[in-house]
Structure 1
Amino acid sequence: MKFFRRYIFPALYGLLIYFTIRVLNDIVIDIEFWKRSWALNTLEIGLSILVGYLGIALFKWLFRYFDKKGTVKLSYKGLVRELFIFVMANLVLINLIFTPMAAFTDDGLSWADAVDINLIPTLYAIIYYGITRTNTWLKAYVNNKMQLEKLTNDHLETELKFLKAQYHPHFLFNALNTIYFQMDEDVAGAKKSTELLSSLLRYQLYDQQQQVPIKQELEYLQDYIQLQKIRASQKMRLKVVFDEGLADQQVYPLLLLPLVENAFKYIGGDYRIDISANINEKGMLFKVYNDVPATMKIADNYSGIGHENLKRRLELLYPGKHRLIAGGEAGSYVAQLELEF
């Protein structure tokens, strides 16, 4: 096959151009070219074969030039520019050989000859260009898509790392604030809380792009709740119910904590907090209810760094596979998160 492409195909390409031009021209002037002098026909055929070899060599050189200069761009502008150069180079070659050949044979160069000489080789050159360069353009398209996906993934990974870095100080500030109030009244309890905080921080070292068993995430929440209970009012009525069926299902870590954190932050009124996690048809339903002061204005959506952070992480980690609903009435607030495993 390699031998055919290198040595046979160029000759066939030149002959195809010649016989197409000759047949069209003979139809117009009503002659039969095979009845002409065989010496003349042999000369024209020989020159046509030469055009084939020179043309294919020129095309290959142009392709290497385009690739080396990086002119191949996935845009109509890049394609048109490359094709224009290709066609013009082909026309120069064709007119250098075929135009003098037509001018000094038969009845000289006519308008019909000029049209055929320029049009037919151009059409065949465009077809050759399309067939040959399709693979190159396809590879360029695939590479471009892969690079675009890589850039997108790198961007999302960077954004997730930023969100993680943004979230940790937010959590740490609240936890340290809890221990601070404890120091004046219960030093031993403050030490215990510090150990608990240390355990929580170790868990937060997990890469948030790597999933963990849901059981592990719920145990982390239990530790966090224990830490919050230390500074909570004695009036608080806390109820935590986690479905025992939630065990080895994989989830991304630290997505549930902001909902629980919000409940402890804004608790008031009757001081009731209900936290539950249950399996549903698609995955898990996590729900947090808390009473708020009667004078507090209830927003329809979360606000603040923690909740905006959560929304964005959910969009990145569970695109189209989550639903976060938050809102309430006077005196209470409910947030629920549905995740598909």
Structure 2
Amino acid sequence: MNTLRKHAFPAFYGLLIYFTVRLLHDLAVDEQFWKRDWGLNILEMACSVLVGYVCVYTFEKLFRFYDLNGALQSNYQGVFKELALLVIANLIVVCAIFIPMAALTDDGLSWADLADLTIIPTLYALVYYGIVRSSSWLKAYVGNRLLLEKITNQQLETELKFLKAQYHPHFLFNALNTVYFQMDEDLPGAKKSIEKFSELLRYQLYDQQQKVPVFKEIAYLESYIDLQKIRSSERLRLELFFDENLTDQLVYPLLFLPLVENAFKFIGGAYEMSVKANVDQKWITFSVENSIPLIAKGHLKSGGIGLENLKRRLDLLYGEWHELILEKDDESFKASIKIDYE
């Protein structure tokens, strides 16, 4: 196929130009070219074939030059510049071969001949350019889209890593503070807390862009709550409910933790807290509600990651396939996450 295109197509291209020019000219002057002297016809066709080979060779050299320099991948100015050079090269070849040929045959060169011999080859050159370079345009477009997507993904990955890193200072501070106060009063309890703390820290090393079965997330939350209960007031009344059907559904890790952190940080008043998780055929719903001090004002958010960070992570990881609802009244604060786990 490449051999045919290389050796036969240029001749076909030149003859196509010739017969188109010939057709338009003969219709205008009511002439039939096959009744002309065949020696003259063969001469004109030979010149047209020569034009075809020279033009196609020049076009291919121009295409290779632009491909090597990556002009099409840079911007659309490269396309326009290449097209302009192609048209200029085409006109130079046509004027160098066709114009002398027309001037020395028949009744000489007329303005109509000049128009036919420049416009028609230029139109065919544009068609040829569009057909041949369409694949390059498509490759350049796809390449630019892939590059843009890669850059976007890298930016999102960097942002997710930054958000993940913000978990650790707040988490470490609370856990170490708990162990510190246990050391004097309950040494065995402090050892257990350190063991539980190490398990929690190990879980936090999960890649934030890799999903985990939801039962692991629940186990992590239960361990975290056990650790927080040590630091909490004896007045704490805690209600936990995790749907037994929450098993192997896949979720991104550490999305539920900020709600529990927020509740332990701002609990007050009646010291009541409930943590619930349910699942249906499509959605996982996780909700935390805690009573608040009567003097609490404004919106509530935890230190470190905070609810604002949680919103951003949910947007990055789930897009439109999630809901985050925050509700506050005079006595309680409720936050819930609804995730499409499919």
Q: TM-score range by the shorter chain?
A: over 0.9
Whether the 8 Å contact between 1:179 and 1:193 is mirrored in structure 2 is yes
Alignment deviations for residues 289-314 of structure 1 (CA, whole Å, 9 cap, x no partner): 00010000142x74654222211111
Q: How far apart are the structure 2 equivalents of 1:127 and 1:264?
A: 71
Give unmatched runs, 5+ long, in structure 1: none
Alignment deviations for residues 248-268 of structure 1 (CA, whole Å, 9 cap, x no partner): 111111111110011000010
Please name the residue that 1:4 is paired with. Answer: 4
- Offset of residue 324 of structure 1: 0.5
**Secondary structure of 2:255's aligned partner:** coil
Please name the residue that 1:204 is paired with. Answer: 204
Please name the residue that 1:41 is paired with. Answer: 41
**Secondary structure of 2:278's aligned partner:** strand
Q: How far apart are the structure 1 equivalents of 2:339 and 2:87?
A: 57
Instruction: Calculate the aligned-residue CA RMSD, in Å.
Output: 1.7
For 1:154-169, list aligned pairs within 5 A.
154-169=154-169
Q: How far apart are the structure 1 equivalents of 2:215 and 2:53?
A: 72
Please name the residue that 1:122 is paired with. Answer: 122
Alignment deviations for residues 304-331 of structure 1 (CA, whole Å, 9 cap, x no partner): 5422221111111111111011121012
Are 1:193 and 2:193 matched, yes or no?
yes
Whether the 8 Å contact between 1:298 and 1:327 is mirrored in structure 2 is no
Please name the residue that 1:65 is paired with. Answer: 65
Please name the residue that 1:55 is paired with. Answer: 55
Please name the residue that 1:152 is paired with. Answer: 152
Please name the residue that 2:88 is paired with. Answer: 88
Please name the residue that 1:132 is paired with. Answer: 132
**Secondary structure of 2:233's aligned partner:** coil
Whether the 8 Å contact between 1:286 and 1:338 is mirrored in structure 2 is yes
For 1:1-341, list aligned pairs within 5 A.
1-73=1-73, 75-299=75-299, 302=301, 304-306=303-305, 307-341=307-341
Cα distance change of structure 1 residues 252 and 85 upon mapping to structure 2, 3 Å threshold:
same
Whether the 8 Å contact between 2:169 and 2:304 is mirrored in structure 1 is no
Q: How far apart are the structure 1 equivalents of 2:293 and 2:280?
A: 32
**Secondary structure of 2:275's aligned partner:** strand
Q: Which amino acid aligns with 2:244?
A: E
- Offset of residue 7 of structure 1: 1.9
Q: How far apart are the structure 2 equivalents of 1:268 and 1:298?
A: 15
Q: How far apart are the structure 1 equivalents of 2:247 and 2:34?
A: 87
Aligned length: 340
Whether the 8 Å contact between 1:74 and 1:141 is mirrored in structure 2 is no
**Secondary structure of 1:72's aligned partner:** helix
**Secondary structure of 2:339's aligned partner:** strand
Report the TM-score, using the length of structure 2 for normalisation: 0.94
Whether the 8 Å contact between 1:95 and 1:118 is mirrored in structure 2 is yes
Alignment deviations for residues 181-209 of structure 1 (CA, whole Å, 9 cap, x no partner): 33443333323222211111011111111
Report the TM-score, using the length of structure 1 for normalisation: 0.95
Identity score, percent: 58
- Offset of residue 154 of structure 1: 1.9
